[in-house]
């Protein structure tokens, strides 16, 4: 009986690992497509929807972010935002949760910033005056 | 097949205590590494008069494969010395069994700039890739759950995991290396000593940590450990130190742990 139970748990584990790995890879593929503009993920978050009304222009921009937790987490966010085309630089004030962006000559979509913040594991609150 | 996929897709996280897993994880496309050096001293119960000393170097990699998903791998190296020399369980050096796994964030609530509550679930497999002296010669299947709450200067972590064991190491020292299944519950509290408040110039923070770790095995063995420590986090690195003190131990035929010390370094790429 114990052997049957163990075998069942092992089998369920392997199936679970496979499904999770497959969904993880699939999600990654989706993100890749979105970055190249081939497919856009649906707007599923109110804060991202609010960013749709914002048009970024070259110069400085700022956004409020929640859930930053610690310096290491903050750097993780900066590294993510820095990868967005059109963002020339980013810094973060941990005290106020303010993400400061240096926007280049070809500004990114505001929703791209919002999505990147959320996908990095934080909560985008909204754009604020720089 | 699942393991191959995990490896193809390819741990270090913020405010993670030394011995208890946390629900924080690197962002998509970022790699974090953690090198953990552990020293443990055990009673040499067979000779009765000596001790086994073990130095274990754990290398952990964690990669953000997708939003809310990370894959991780842990490869340990080990050196043991018995005192008096030649006693069973001592005088050997080699690699231990590697662990591959994935973690998925299930819950994220961020009520303030710093405050957060997160919960995640993990699946992993420990493969018999180690040298004969340290390998279980059979895989172990691991399921776990982690939660992290950070409220201002206070951080709380609770983690549980269950290891379904199918093989035993030749000279097991730890819970999880015998043939009995192993349940582990870890609780941790972190307090940010410095800075008292973050600002735009904050480059690092210093925490004190206190962990309580419980072990229960299906063969009746159990144990409880207390682990005070310190954690320093910069923007792309973290350093940590912890002392593990057994409070209670029922180890059956295994040597009892007398004390453990751990030093860690994490880097974010």
| Ranges of chain B with pLDDT below 70 | 1-14, 45-49, 86-90
Residue A29's closest chain B neighbor by CA? B66
Supply the pLDDT for residue A32: 32
Instruction: Tell me the per-residue pLDDT of A4-28, one tens digit each, with 9 for 90 and over.
Output: 455 455 455 444 544 444 443 333 3
Residue A8's closest chain B neighbor by CA? B164
Determine whether the interchain pair A79/B30 forms a contact, defined as Cβ–Cβ distance below 8 Å.
yes
- By Cβ distance, the residue of B1, B3, B111 closest to A66 is B111
pLDDT, tens digit only, all 130 positions of chain A: 444 455 455 455 444 544 444 443 333 333 333 333 333 334 447 788 888 889 999 999 999 999 988 888 888 899 889 999 999 999 999 889 999 999 999 999 999 999 999 989 999 999 999 8
What residues have CB less than 8 Å from B100, skipping those under 6 apart? Answer: B3, B6, B7, B71, B72, B73, B124, B125, B127
Supply the pLDDT for residue A89: 95
Determine whether the interchain pair B67/A118 forms a contact, defined as Cβ–Cβ distance below 8 Å.
yes
CB B268 within 8 A of CB B30: yes
- By Cβ distance, the residue of B102, B198, B236 closest to A94 is B198
- By Cβ distance, the residue of B2, B166, B233 closest to A21 is B2
Supply the pLDDT for residue A53: 87
Angle of helix A71-82 versus helix A110-119 axis, rounded to 10: 140
Tokens of B218: 């299906």
Supply the pLDDT for residue B11: 29
**Where do runs of H (alpha helix) occur along chain B?**
2-9
> A2, A29, A68, A69: which to substitute to probe chain B, counting the most B Cβ within 10 Å?
A69
Supply the pLDDT for residue B51: 86
Query: Which regions of A6-122 does DSSP assign to beta strands (E)?
Result: 59-66, 87-93, 98-103
Q: How far is A12 from chain B (nearest CA, A)?
A: 10
């Amino acid at each position: 009986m114990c052997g049957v139970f163990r075998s069942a748990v092992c089998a369920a584990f392997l199936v679970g690992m496979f499904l999770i790995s497959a969904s993880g890879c699939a999600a990654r593929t989706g993100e890749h497509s979105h970055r190249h503009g081939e497919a856009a993920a649906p707007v599923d978050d109110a804060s991202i929807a609010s960013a749709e009304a914002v048009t970024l222009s070259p110069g400085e921009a700022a956004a409020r972010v929640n859930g930053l937790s610690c310096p290491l987490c903050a750097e993780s966010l900066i590294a993510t935002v820095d990868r967005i085309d059109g963002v020339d630089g980013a810094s973060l004030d941990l005290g106020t949760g303010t993400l400061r962006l240096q926007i280049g000559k070809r500004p990114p979509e505001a929703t791209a910033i919002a999505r990147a913040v959320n996908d990095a594991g934080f909560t985008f609150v909204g754009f604020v005056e720089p | 097949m699942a393991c191959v996929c995990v490896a193809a897709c390819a741990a270090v996280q913020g405010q993670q205590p030394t011995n208890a897993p946390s629900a924080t994880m690197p962002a998509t496309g970022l790699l974090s590494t953690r090198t953990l050096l552990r020293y443990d001293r055990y009673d040499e119960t067979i000779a009765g008069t000596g001790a086994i000393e073990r130095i274990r170097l754990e290398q952990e990699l964690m990669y953000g494969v997708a939003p809310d998903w990370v894959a991780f791998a842990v490869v340990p190296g080990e050196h043991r010395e018995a005192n008096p020399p030649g006693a069973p369980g001592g005088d050997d050096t080699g690699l231990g069994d590697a662990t591959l796994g994935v973690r998925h964030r299930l819950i994220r609530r961020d009520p303030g700039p710093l405050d957060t509550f997160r919960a995640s679930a993990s699946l992993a497999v420990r493969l018999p890739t180690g040298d004969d002296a340290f390998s279980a010669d059979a895989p172990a299947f691991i399921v776990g759950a982690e939660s992290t709450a950070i409220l201002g200067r206070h951080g709380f972590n609770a983690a549980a995991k269950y290891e379904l064991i199918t093989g035993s190491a030749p000279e097991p020292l730890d819970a999880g290396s015998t043939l009995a299944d192993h349940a582990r519950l870890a609780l941790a509290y972190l307090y940010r000593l410095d800075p008292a408040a973050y600002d735009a110039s904050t480059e690092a923070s210093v925490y004190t940590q206190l962990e309580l770790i419980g072990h229960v095995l299906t063969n009746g063995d159990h144990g409880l450990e207390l682990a005070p420590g310190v954690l320093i986090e910069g923007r792309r690195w973290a350093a940590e130190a912890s002392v593990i003190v057994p409070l209670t131990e029922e180890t059956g035929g295994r040597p009892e742990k007398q004390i453990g010390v751990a030093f860690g370094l994490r880097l974010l790429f």
